[in-house]
Structure 1
Amino acid sequence: MRVTILVSSAGRRVGLIECFRRSAATLGIELDVLACDREPQLSAACQAADRAFAVPKCDDPGFVEAMLDIVREGGVQLVVPTIDPELAPLAASAERFRSVGARVHVSPPCVIDVVRDKLKTAQVMEAAGVPVPWTVPLEAAHASAYPIVWPMFLKPTGGSASRNIKVANSSADLPEVPDEPMILQQLLIGPEYTVNMFLDQDGVLCNAVVHRRLRVRAGEVEKGQTERVPVLRELAEGVARALPSARGVLCFQVIVDKRVGPCVFDINARFGGGYPLVHYAGAEYTRWLLEEVVDLPSTAHDDWRSEALMLRYDAAIFRG
């Protein structure tokens, strides 16, 4: 049995490709890994793939067409997005990919619309009973529409990878005319966790792995350790109820604040950067996705190892 996958915006996601390859070998699948990026010659993951392709930026009108061309020519059965900005165009085009035989690993647009907007995320989660930090749009703060207790956290409404975030100690720290929509969010202080989720094709939450973010670099966990924290498992169930159309792999960030308890402050509807730790702990999301693609019985479970530790380091791929 042969399966071809396409890892989009592959960047440095060598570890994710390796997880797919190990899962395929376990299932007896011959796996072809295609990868694409704006500059594949400068992408480690593209160099680690079997074939690599250049595509436009994901906000370019030609991005989806370029992806569809790769899918058609390569006989791709599964497309795996890896960054937040590409989720919306791929979700909107999922039926086009399906018509040429490829499943895009992405939740429907109604889910992406929520998780790509941090204000909507806070509103939808709060309405579902999931604890979130107090959140307001920046313009409401400028209008003095709410009493604000400083300091607050300032971040782009549609940001990712810790881009343009900062602590605002007073209204003097707020931009008058921001370059993009911004929110102010209650500043949380305490240990930070990622909760990784796998939902099957019926939307059933099959697995939730918690790992503590011991060290973070550019918004991605660098050192992490899995922990069984029952209250965070309950939060995963709440997130799944709040997003009933979600499918596949998601992850969300939680800070356990010493004053208000655990609060969900960010959701990513894709493989998180720390997924290799989840895989190592025994939750093989890559295997479960491949099982769905080739219509094998699912082996999804929630039995994973606590205290699995990941210590990332920089490695290099050499060419020429």
Structure 2
Amino acid sequence: MTSLLTTRPDAVPGGAAPAVIVTGAGGPAGIAVVRRLIALGHRVVAVDADPTATGAALATVGLTVPRADHPHFVDALVAVATAQGADALIPTVAEELPALSAGADRLAAAGVATWLADPAAVAVCCDKAAFARTLRAAGVPHPPTTDTTSALVEVPGPWVVKPRAGRGSRGVRLLDRRSEVVEALCTDPSLVAQTRLHGREFTADTLVSRTGEILTVVPRWREETKAGISVKGTTFDSEAVTDVVVGALEAVGLTGPANVQGFVAPDGDAAVVEINPRFSGGLPLTLAAGADVVSAYLTGIREPDRQLEHLWFTPGVSMRRYHAEVFTDRSGAPVADPSVSAAVWA
């Protein structure tokens, strides 16, 4: 059910502070959360379905668990928590949230606290057609969207066609001819078509309290992306963006961490394209700008009745992402990085 990937010398649970389980340790968001928690001195158990997940090598302990659609996914997490002395779980994969919500009582019985968004809110965010209807009903600016050819007349081109349930840039197509859009929708009923927005693309990292209070909105320009992940960006302050982001979050009723993506048109108007009910891949920039949403979220998990403080950030902080490597031997033990000073490994 679970297998050990890596273990550091300080990983033994006996007498140590309770650990934090971080799921999705192979993704950018999971890696960012693991790195932040380790930097703060937490004992971190990183889990992923991929036995070579990078975040597992960065954590105190790395373990392999089944995918969220496996019937023993929650069983594996309970086993991990029991073996490693974990008292809190931070998910970083949206597709895991339904299974975690269904298994929250079992996790709680094992001593693992969670803070999970309302499953109905998560379902709306993960369904682009339902999300469009929800924002339209709430009057939140959003590109015209349809999943039927009959309503395509209400969705002006040019178009972006994408999976109704998907993430990143997977399966996204930019189309300029209505006939191509009709063919795509007829061929694959799981697709939606949207009017393609123009302007500057942004992501806003957010945290909403359990009672619905907006604790922070940190907008950043997506200056360059690769495979849907921001690799260059800069934080900025905008009342128009903050207002539309808050409106979208309130419309879907989401709590906890989320990242909201959208565009600012040349005339300054902002519109929301989607909400991902999880930490973002560009999370390190928000952390560098001063909004420690990871620590605040962990506090909210462990102390559900505590009133969390508002988080402020510094506009104008830029990020330029580059490749970095983590090396391990056959046993999973760290191998020295040749690009780091030998003194670090002494």
Q: CA deviation at 1:212?
A: 0.7
**Which residue is 2:19 aligned to?**
4
The total of aligned residue pairs comes to 309
CA distance in 2, matches of 1:249, 1:148: 31
> What aligned pairs does 1:244-255 form with structure 2 within 5 A after superposition?
244=253, 246-255=254-263
CA separation in 2, counterparts of 1:222 and 1:266? 19
Contact 1:152 1:184 in 2 (8 A): yes
1:44 corresponds to which residue?
Answer: 54
Question: 1:206 Cα deviation (Å)?
Answer: 1.2
Report the AA paired with residue 169 of structure 1. D
1:28 — aligned with what?
A: none
List alignment gaps of at least 5 residues for structure 1.
26-30
Query: CA separation in 2, counterparts of 1:293 and 1:265?
Result: 28
Match of 1:32 in 2: 43
Q: Do residues 103 (structure 1) and 118 (structure 2) align?
A: no
Verify: 1:229 aligned to 2:246, yes or no: no
Give 1:176 shift: 5.9
Offset at residue 260 of structure 1 (A): 9.0
Give 2:134's aligned residue: 124
- Bigger mean CA deviation after superposition, 114-123 or 290-299: 290-299
1:105 Cα deviation (Å)? 4.0
What RMSD over aligned residues (CA atoms) do the two structures have, in Å? 2.2
Alignment partner of 1:151 is 2:166: no
Alignment of 1:88 onto 2:102: no
Task: Output the CA distance in 2 between the equivalents of 1:99 and 1:303.
Answer: 35
Distance 1:237 1:144, change over 3 A: closer
1:318 aligns with 2:327: yes
| AA matched with 1:253 | Q
* Pair 1:180–1:103, CA change in 2 (3 A): farther
Deviation at 1:84, TM superposition (A): 2.3
1:20 pairs with 2:31: no
What is the letter of the counterpart of residue 15 of structure 1?
A: A
Identity of aligned residues (%): 26
Secondary structure in 1 matching 2:215: strand
User: Among 125, 129, 135, which residue is 1:115 paired with?
Assistant: 125
Distance 1:64 1:146 in 2: 45
Structure having the higher Rg: 2
Question: CA-to-partner distance for each residue in 1:144-187, whole Å, 9 max, x for gaps?
Answer: 66355332110001111211001122244333655561100111
Q: Contact between 1:156 and 1:180, CA under 8 Å: does it hold in 2?
A: no
Whether the 8 Å CA contact 1:68–1:97 is kept in 2: the answer is yes
Q: Deviations over 1:63-115 (max 9, x none)?
A: 22222222233232221222222222222322322232222343121111111
| Structure 2: stretches of 5+ with no match in the other structure | 1-15, 330-346
Structure 1 68/269 Cα, relative in aligned 2: closer, same or farther at 3 Å? same
Cα pair 2:146 2:155 within 8 Å, conserved = no
Scaled by the length of structure 1, the TM-score of the pair is 0.89
Q: How does 1:262-301 map to 2 (within 5 A)?
A: 262-295=270-303, 300-301=309-310
